[in-house]
Structure 1
Amino acid sequence: MKPFTLVSIILVIVLAASYIDAFTRNNFPKDFLFGAGTSAYQWEGASDEDGRTISGWDFLSHCSNGSNGDIACDGYHKYKEDVKLMAEMGLEAFRFSISWTRLIPNGRGPINPKGLLFYKNLIKELRSHGIEPHVTLYHYDLPQPLEDEYGGWINRRIIEDFTAFVDVCFREFGEDVKLWTTINEATILAFGSYGEGITMGHCTPTPSKSINCSTADSSTKTYLAGHNILLAHASASELYKLKYKSKQRGSIGFSIYAVGLSPYTNSMEDEIATQRANTFFHGWMLKPLVFGDYPDEIKSAMGSRLPVFSEEEAKKVKGSYDFIGIIHYTTLFVTNRPLPSIYPTNINKCFFKDMDAYMITTGKSSFIELEATPWGLEGVLEYLKQNFNNPPIYILENGVSLKQDSSLQDTPRVEYIEGYIGAVLNAIKNGSDTRGYFVWSLMDLYELFGGYMQTYGLYFVNFSDPGLKRSPRLSASWYTGFLNGSIDVTSQDITQLQSNFSGSYSL
């Protein structure tokens, strides 16, 4: 048995033990929101209809010669049908994003009246069914003209253009939208799109395996993009609070990808490596938001490669949120010892090398991925509570990918969602100010990694059917029952879930 196998089993047994009590929807606060999510490019389709123009995600999907979101789920035409499904399920909230190029086709300038009407109609339809809209303003779909003109998020000009875009959104939709997330998965956007490796939003050449991270342009672009993302968010937040909040009474938040992190062994070295990983994955952007500057460890490691906030910028960034949105799928064990990497060869090596640089001068941190570990989410919520002043939190994405097929019996997804909802409840009982949970995703979508082959949907979408028929999976039925109170999560369910977890770790 490998060391982390034993560690994982022990952690599952000890930490999952707190989930053995049965729970229902009524165990959560009355104002807690349960929902599901999509994003514009993954759901809407209609990529060249009614004035919409190309975004970076269009460009990326087409230059990779794979599948694309040109049609996706055709939510642009089928939104009323989809809202009806949400209402029948009993969803309390729906998270979606606004396509910048559908609303403002060139990235700046005139508003597209047909795009504006679509979002007004969608929001009206949600409201008429008692469903709270939770709007993400930016979900990887930068207008391609802005990428071509000045490089997108690595240029400070993006701050002005993004602020002008969100101003339109606040003005036009803010009477009916009370929950806004400015930027989706800001950490992943920065090191995925603008570092060396993963391409999220624009096409880049295949990275060199021998890249020198100490001199590579990509090793600075990651942090420059992250800096401008924070400043753009702060600008949007300031605009909302000065111009709209008193009348519209909404809340504005910022989203990061939050990974569960746990030491690979009980050694001090692995504990330190885990602290370092937490600093890079989470503290990199949350510390400026909460305390006004980057973590000292990152500043020491990066030196001149890390941008510096002016005194005025630091004041704007600090406290520029009403909530933190987290995207969470899995937990990683962290070690200070080299191990076979789970990551593809084209991942952003420089970011992970930087993660080592300030603590460990030899070797490199390695991560071992465990897919279904609800205690990892509970750990994330506890970490945020203890280290960032217990911010209000919405879990904006949580779900499990399964191979796309016509089977509607997605029992693993039901077990996954049960476990993670139990973890959220446990965190709330321990004082976490978590206010909402959104399953990813409402239905099968076009996914950034995997296209239409790996899907997360509560509803199966038959992409071979011209009508893109939606069919509820077992998970949709389970979620419906949980939300309407006809299903209780019992100790037997969780005991079985624990057994499944333990069995899955026998490597």
Structure 2
Amino acid sequence: MKHLSLFSIIVVIVLGTSYSDAFTRKDFPENFLFGAATSAYQWEGAVDDDGRTPSVWDTFSHSNDRDNGDITCDGYHKYKEDVKIMAEMGLESFRFSISWPRLIPNGRGAINPKGLLFYKNLIKELRTHGIEPHVTLYHYDHPQCLEDEYGGWINRKIIEDFTAFADVCFREFGEDVKLWTTINEATIFAIGSYSEGISPPGHCTPNKFINCTTGNSSTEPYIAGHNILLAHASASNLYKLKYKSKQRGSIGLSIYAFGLSPYTNSKDDEIATQRAKAFLYGWMLKPLVFGDYPDEMKRLVGSRLPVFSKEESEQVKGSSDFVGVIHYMTVYITNRGPAPSLFPTSGQGFFSDIGVNMIPIGNASLIQWVAIPWGLEGVLEYIKQSYNNPPIYILENGIPMTSSTLQDTPRVEFIQAYIGAMLNAIKNGSDTRGYFVWSLIDVYELLSGYTTSFGMNYVNFSDPGRKRSPKLSASWYSGFLNGTIDIASQDITQLQSNFPASSSL
């Protein structure tokens, strides 16, 4: 799910640093994983099939006449076809999530045998084709029944239920799954879902931008964030105590990481940028690495920020074997003022507490998607220096396009540039171990529905059979992985010339 403007998207490729030097797949460490990603609600469809019950994402997507993931690209029924596409592309790994209400329809208790069989079959199919499964346990979709019962992530009861759900997954799938992410982009999930109201379950204090029906933007994101960390630590510690010695897997938490750069060379903007890094990175990473929240958050949020007990601090600290980084865009940071901000506020909530403007790069009259690869390199360098250089998997990176053209050259240029930036970071000592393009194929997107796509493979959503067709980016990525494409601009031109002329759908 990608965080796009609700108004307009303009794709701009800005290569602020040169990444034109040739590199190949062989320049990366031998055990490095290249893959692609999806999530359950966005890819599977089949929302009423085989015992699945509604999630909060179902409820949210059906509100206000939004697009929804009822069918999307029907991965539930077409998973074998999609695994074949992955194998033909040469993907080394596939990141997907487990639908909690498909596996355990009542949120706790009885396992749905048909849901269990689906995931076992999917994992088996991946393994048969030599593709490493990277499983995310939670991607915005806890069962609606748990939301109705006690409020989901703003209630500590979810820690026990999430841990029991994770236990089922470890027990049933762990022999074949060596990479686990507990909770998807924990930072932006807590912000978007409990401060801004733009993602399920859609909580916020009603304001002039979004009229939420429930929520408190000044307290709920921090309560949810705290419970996310405790639930992650609980599941992680269970895995390490009960399963890790036999299954020999790794488990981590993922964050959404904006690239953050001072708007000017002023001292104020530099301080504002450090404050933004404390809130947007340190909120989750400092407890995971050092056992407590950043001092800046404690000072600015005050009593609204939950406090770790000594026991909780010890449980959370060291509970991630790796950090999952989800990165799409870089923004300029300045002290809060009249400048346009990516997240305008009404005086309360997470972004008001930071006290900064996140300034879109480009024409300030429109929120624009601006992709600059040095932003990712900066994120990796900062995490290396500030958080003891943890192992990192870049779990999502990609670019939206409004066109259904198969010749998605901007996406090829984007992926190439970001892989180059990542390689620079690795050469500078970052322990980055994997890179996943969002997304394998066109899927339902959270804020844009089906009006934009990130897929390397086109899906004809007007076709009941959801026909798939490879885009130029799929051919490029495949060529990069199998060593038939050298990374230089002329190779993109050559690839274009070899691609079918009838490339618009």
TM over 0.5, shorter chain: yes
1:430-456 alpha-carbon deviations (Å, 9 max, x no partner): 000000000000000000011011100
> Which residue identity lines up with residue 460 of structure 1 in the other structure?
Y
Matched, 1:466 2:450: no
> Using the alignment, how far apart are the partners of 1:57 and 1:237 within structure 2?
25
* Aligned residue runs from structure 1 range 64-463, under 5 A: 64-195=64-195, 197-204=196-203, 207-209=206-208, 217-336=216-335, 338-343=337-342, 350-356=349-355, 364-369=356-361, 371-405=370-404, 407-463=405-461
> Using the alignment, how far apart are the partners of 2:338 and 2:488 within structure 1?
39
1:320-349 alpha-carbon deviations (Å, 9 max, x no partner): 010000100010011126244243657895
Equivalent position of 2:3 in the other structure = none
> Which residue identity lines up with residue 133 of structure 1 in the other structure?
P
Shift of 1:194: 1.4
Shift of 1:199: 3.1
> Using the alignment, how far apart are the partners of 1:251 and 1:334 within structure 2?
34
> Using the alignment, how far apart are the partners of 1:205 and 1:399 within structure 2?
28
1:162-181 alpha-carbon deviations (Å, 9 max, x no partner): 00000000000000000000
TM-score, with structure 2 as normaliser? 0.90
> Using the alignment, how far apart are the partners of 1:453 and 1:347 within structure 2?
28
> Using the alignment, how far apart are the partners of 1:244 and 1:368 within structure 2?
45
Question: Residues 447, 57 of structure 1: CA spacing in aligned structure 2 closer, same or farther, 3 A cutoff?
Answer: same
Q: Decide which structure has greater helix share.
A: 1
Question: Residues 12, 36 of structure 1: CA spacing in aligned structure 2 closer, same or farther, 3 A cutoff?
Answer: closer
* Aligned residues of 1:334 and 1:368 also touching (Cα < 8 A): no
Matched, 1:43 2:35: no
> Using the alignment, how far apart are the partners of 1:124 and 1:493 within structure 2?
35
> Using the alignment, how far apart are the partners of 1:133 and 1:366 within structure 2?
35
Of stretches 267-276 and 345-354 in structure 1, the one that deviates more from structure 2 is 345-354
* Aligned residues of 1:21 and 1:491 also touching (Cα < 8 A): no
Question: Residues 117, 365 of structure 1: CA spacing in aligned structure 2 closer, same or farther, 3 A cutoff?
Answer: same
Shift of 1:488: 1.0
> Using the alignment, how far apart are the partners of 1:381 and 1:348 within structure 2?
32
What is the identity percentage for the equivalent residue pairs of Structure 1 and Structure 2? 72
Shift of 1:65: 1.1
TM-score, with structure 1 as normaliser? 0.90
Give the 4+ runs in structure 1 shifted more than 4 A. 203-206, 344-349, 491-494
Shift of 1:20: 3.5
Question: Residues 76, 298 of structure 1: CA spacing in aligned structure 2 closer, same or farther, 3 A cutoff?
Answer: same
Shift of 1:319: 0.2
> Which residue identity lines up with residue 430 of structure 1 in the other structure?
N
* Matched pairs, number: 470
> Using the alignment, how far apart are the partners of 2:491 and 2:241 within structure 1?
48
Question: Residues 347, 190 of structure 1: CA spacing in aligned structure 2 closer, same or farther, 3 A cutoff?
Answer: farther
> Using the alignment, how far apart are the partners of 2:239 and 2:347 within structure 1?
34
> Using the alignment, how far apart are the partners of 1:308 and 1:240 within structure 2?
25
> Which residue identity lines up with residue 249 of structure 1 in the other structure?
R
1:3-59 alpha-carbon deviations (Å, 9 max, x no partner): xxxxxx9x955xx13x23210001001100000000000000000000000000000
1:380-403 alpha-carbon deviations (Å, 9 max, x no partner): 000000000000000000000000
> Using the alignment, how far apart are the partners of 2:295 and 2:481 within structure 1?
44
